[in-house]
Structure 1
Amino acid sequence: MKITSAEFIMSNQDVKKCPNSGIPEYAFIGRSNVGKSSLINMLTNKKSLAKTSGRPGKTQLINHFLINKSWHLVDLPGYGYARVSKSSKAKFQTFITKYFEQRKQLISAFVLVDVRHEPQPIDVEFMEWMGESGIPFSIVFTKADKLKPNALERNVEVYTNKMLEGAWEEMPPYFITSASNYTGKEELLGYINEINLSL
Structure 2
Amino acid sequence: MTQAQGFGRRYIKAFFKGFFVAVPVTVTFLDRVACVARVEGASMQPSLNPGGRQASDVVLLNHWSIRNYDVQRGDIVSLVVPGYHRSLFPLPWELESVIKLSHPSRSPRNPEQKIIKRVIALEGDIIKTIGYKKKYVKVPHGHIWVEGDHHGHSFDSNAFGPVSLGLLHARATHILWPPKRWQKLQPILPPERKPLQREQE
Smaller-chain TM-score bracket: under 0.3
TM-score normalised by L of structure 2: 0.23
Higher share in strand: 2
TM-score normalised by L of structure 1: 0.23
The structure with the largest alpha-carbon Rg is 2
Higher share in helix: 1
